[in-house]
Amino acid sequence: MLDSLAPVADSTERVGSARFELEYELRMPGLDAPLAFGASGAYDTPAKKAELTMDLSSFAELVGGFAGSSGDAALAGLGDPSNWKLDMVLDGNVAYMRMPFLRSELPSGKEWVSIDLAQAARMQGTDFGELESFANGSDPRQVLDYLRSVAGEVTLVGTENVRGVPTSHYFAVVDWQKALASAVSQANEPGLLGQLQSFDGTVQNIPVDVWVDEERLIRRMKMQLSMSVDGQEAGGSFEMELFDYGDSVRVEVPAAADASTRSRSGARYSAESGHGNRPARACRTLHPRARADSSLGGRGLSCLGRSRLDVSLARPR
């Protein structure tokens, strides 16, 4: 029986490797249906490698509609669901990304964008830790920090198997303000808390369900987020399963011949997701206050990072 979920977060983070599957759902005013997307991948902390595959195809209809009304021909392909498949690989300080709609901007024969995070930090005069957080979005353990901000009691719901593993199911409520303050503190941006609190969306405390095995490792985690945007309901949900703890994780790093650090025009890619190209313009099309950067690191889609509709659940590091 647990009276705190913090030790569970600690023991889960200490395991060096595992595989995972994620599901997100976003509900926003003005949308006829929720935006749903999923991801799967693996991490190997000792080897400093991770991989992530995301299906963002539900964004195609939304962005395609905005792109059509904007008259920007360069955004036209974003209405095709097949263009919203993201692959990401982290190999030490180097992050690789592949999305179909980026291919036309890459030199001939290249499929991957390659970003040396340490080099990008030096070029931008930025703390390497900030850019490292950009790549840490491939590590699902970032979300575990929310379990250190639980308010009130932890309740045992019952027992059940998750992927064949016996677990205990617990329920608790995360104190959103406490979690937000902790995240901002770790992001080392003192002014950020005031900016986030000034948004016209009001986030409520977050219910969380956690399934824990006999070794105090998390096997499944669910969170629900509710908020008000201009007086209308919004929110989201997040579900994660972790499995194959400690198993050998083989992350295939793209070959150098298949990756490029520069676009077809010769511009160098950076961890800011390419201002001026289609990803950046798509973000600005989604919301005029959105910025296509990663200064909040690990908060899911970076183009929503500073918008009032940011409902992702991973914490900055």
pLDDT digits 0-9 by tens, 139-155: 677 788 889 889 889 99
Closest to 170 measured CA to CA, from 190, 192, 194, 150? 150
Identity of the amino acid at 33: A
Q: Across the strands, what pairs with 210?
A: 170, 221
Higher pLDDT, residue 279 or 106: 106
| E strand intervals along 94-251 | 94-98, 112-116, 150-162, 165-174, 201-203, 206-212, 218-229, 232-243
Closest to 254 measured CA to CA, from 56, 10, 69, 88? 88
d(CA 110, CA 264): 10
Higher pLDDT, residue 103 or 209: 209
Mean pLDDT of 197-223: 83
Closest to 272 measured CA to CA, from 287, 255, 291? 291
Give the percent of the chain with pLDDT over 90.
Answer: 29
Mean pLDDT of 228-254: 86
Least confident of 149-163, 168-182, 273-287: 273-287
Q: Name the pLDDT band for 133 (thresholds 50, 70, 90).
A: very low
**Are 204 and 226 in contact, with CB atoms under 8 Å apart?**
yes
d(CA 114, CA 89): 10
| pLDDT at res. 256 | 87
Most confident of 86-100, 173-187, 189-203: 86-100
Mean pLDDT of 93-113: 86
Break the chain into its structural domains and give their ranges: 6-304
d(CA 53, CA 62): 21
Task: Write the DSSP string, 2-48.
Answer: -S-SHHHHHHHHHS-EEEEEEEEEEE-TT-SS-EEEEEEEEEETTTT
Residue 154 CB neighbour total at 10 angstroms? 19
Taking 70 as the threshold, does the pLDDT of residue 308 lie above it?
no
d(CA 44, CA 165): 22
Q: Name the pLDDT band for 213 (thresholds 50, 70, 90).
A: very high
Contacts of 289 (CB under 8 A, 6+ apart): 306, 307, 308
The structure tokens listed for 61 are 């209809």
Taking 90 as the threshold, does the pLDDT of residue 162 lie above it?
yes
Taking 70 as the threshold, does the pLDDT of residue 24 lie above it?
yes
Q: What is the mean pLDDT of the chain?
A: 74
**Are 113 and 97 in contact, with CB atoms under 8 Å apart?**
yes
Q: Name the pLDDT band for 175 (thresholds 50, 70, 90).
A: confident
d(CA 292, CA 290): 7
| pLDDT at res. 128 | 44
The structure tokens listed for 58 are 């539900």
Least confident of 37-46, 86-95, 155-164, 256-265: 256-265
Taking 80 as the threshold, does the pLDDT of residue 311 lie above it?
no
| pLDDT at res. 39 | 93
Taking 70 as the threshold, does the pLDDT of residue 109 lie above it?
yes
Closest to 140 measured CA to CA, from 54, 224, 57? 54
| pLDDT at res. 77 | 63
Q: Does domain 6-304 have CATH number 3.40.1050.10?
A: no
d(CA 307, CA 290): 5
